[in-house]
Chain A
Amino acid sequence: MSSISGLQPDPSMIGGIAQPAYAKLPDPLALFATRSRRLAQLAAASEMKPYLVFLSALAEVQHDIQRDLPAPEGPDAETIARAAEFAMPPLDRGRFTLDAAFDATLERFLDGVRAVEKPLPAQAALDRVIAAGPVARDAMLRNVLTDSLPVESLAEHLFLAGALQVHFTRLAAGLPADRLAKLADGVCPCCGGPPLASLVVDWPQAPGARYCACALCGTLWNHVRVRCVVCGSTKGIGLQEVESGTGAVKAETCDECHSYVKVFYEGKDSGIDPLADDVASLGLDLLMRGGPYRRAAFNPFLLGY
C-alpha cells in the first residue's frame, strides 16, 4: 500500500529512528482503485478467479462513484474532542444517520453494481436491495454497522457494506490523524471496528512495523508485533503458513483466545491490499479449519470461515 510517490523526506531518520505513527488514514481515491487492481492481479493466478474478478469490479465501482460525490458530513470538532476524552471512536457507528452524501453513495453504488457481471443469487439479492424500502434498508445498514450479519440475507447486506465502505473511508479520511489514539486492543481508532487482517509494512519511515486494517473505514492502526490482535495476549503466539508458500501470508494464532488473524508481509510482496489478499488467501483459512484456532478477522467478503 506504500508507493514511491508517497516518499517524503524525513529528517528524523538522520539522528534517530522515528516512532511509527499510530494511525494511517485511508485515501479514498487511491484505496479502492488499488484494491481493484490488486484483485484483478490476484485473480489471474487463482482458483478463485470468478469471485476475485467480481470483487475487483465491485471495488472499481466503489472508486468510480466517488467522482463529484457530495462531501460526507464528518463529526464536528466538539464530537472529536469528546471521543478523544472518553477513548471512544470519533466515527460513532451507533449514531450513523443517513445524509445526502450517503444517499448518493448508495444509489450510485447500487446503480454501478447493476452493470457488473454476477451469478444469479447475487443479481437477485441486488434486485431485492434496490426494491427495499427505507425502513428495511435502514435495518440492514444497522446490521452491517454492528458487524452482525444475518445468514438468510447475507448478499443483500454485503452490497450495503460495499456502499458503507466508501462512505466511511471518506469520513475517516477527514479525521485529524494526529489526534487518534489507541482505544482498546483490536479496535479501529476511527470507527471502532474489528481488524480485517494485519500488515507488517515496509514503509521507509517504519520498516517492519505492524498495522491492523479496518474493513469498514480502511484505516491502518499500529499494533505491536507478536501480540494477539484480538485479545492482546503475548503468550503462545504462533504463525501458520501454507507449506511452500512465499512467506507473505501467515495466520497469527493465539493460544490464549484460540483465534487467528492473518498477517501479511509487505517486504515479501509489495502490492498487498489487506482486504484483497485476505480473500485471495482463503486456502489458508480452509486449512486452518482443521486446527484448534478460529478465524477472528472481520472481512465482509469472506464471512463464514
Chain B
Amino acid sequence: MNMELSRRQFLRTAGAGIAGTSLGAFGFGGVEEALADAIRPFRLTNTTEVRNTCTYCSVACGILIFSKGDLKKGEKAEITHIEGDVDHPTNRGTLCPKGAALLDIVHSKTRLQYPMMRKAGSDKFERVSWDVALDRVARVLKDDRDKNFIAKNNDGVTVNRWVTTGFLAASATTNEAAWCTYKVVRSAGMLVFDNQARV
C-alpha cells in the first residue's frame, strides 16, 4: 500500500488558511459558484462493486457484482448488475450463457431459499426447518450406509467402501471448505464424489 501517495498534498501554501483552486486562480471563481448552485439539489447514489466467483461450475469464472444500498449503513442491498471480471485470468470478462444470466438466478422467484421436503407419496414440496432437514438427511444416509457398506472385498482385504451414495459439492467453495468436504465424504467411505461440478 502506497500511503505516501494517499497523503500527498498537491497544493501547498505558506500562509495558514489560504485556500485556492485552479478555477479561482485563473479568475473563473464565478463559474464555480454557478455550478455549486446548480448541483446543490442533486444527491449522490451509492453502488458497491465486489469481485466473486461464478457459482455454476469448476471453471470458476471471475465475476463483478454491483449492488445498490449500503449494508454498512443498515440499508438493504439489492444486486443490480453482474458481469464478467475482465481482470480474471480464466475468463477475462467473458461468461457462458448460464453465467451471463446470473442476475436472473439471484432475483428468481423460484430460487431455493430454505430447506424444502417432499414426503414419500406427496406431490408437493413443503418448507421444513434446518433441524428437520439435517436430521432427515443424516437418517437416510445412515440407513443406506448401514445397509450397503462393504468392509471387506471377496479376497478378504479391508476396503471400507460405500458406493450406493454419491456426493457433489459446489464450485464456489473455498479450498478450506473443499478440504473439509473431502475429509468427511472420504472418511465415510464414499467413492462417488466430485468436489466441483464439471462441464
A residues contacting B by CB (< 8 A) are: 17-20, 47-51, 54, 118-122, 125, 147-152, 154-155, 158, 184-187, 194, 206-210, 224-226, 230-234, 237-244, 250, 256-257, 259, 282-284, 286-288, 291, 296, 298, 300-305
Contacts and interface: CB of A to CB of B under 8 A. Distances in A.
Contacts of B21: 302-305
Interface string B30-42: 1110111011001
Interface of B: 1-3, 5-6, 8-15, 18-28, 30-32, 34-36, 38-39, 42-51, 64, 66, 70, 83-87, 91-94
B23 to A, nearest CB: 6
Contacts of B44: 240-243, 284, 287-288, 291
Contacts of A291: 44
Contacts of A150: 11-14
B87 A225 contact: yes
A121 B26 contact: yes
A243 B13 contact: no
A231 B48 contact: no
A150 B66 CA distance: 40
Contact of A185 (B2, B23, B50): B2
Contacts of A301: 22
B34 A47 contact: yes
Task: Tell me the dominant secondary structure on chain B's binding face.
Answer: mixed
Given A120-B27, A226-B51, 6 more contacts: A184-B2, A207-B93, A226-B64, A232-B1, A241-B47, A286-B36
B26 A231 contact: no
Contacts of B42: 242-244, 283, 287
Contact of B8 (A54, A121, A147, A286): A147
Given A208-B93, A240-B44, A20 B10 contact: no
Contact of A282 (B20, B24, B35, B87): B35
A151 B11 contact: yes
A17 B92 contact: yes
B96 to A, nearest CB: 13
Contacts of B87: 209-210, 224-225
A280 to B, nearest CB: 10
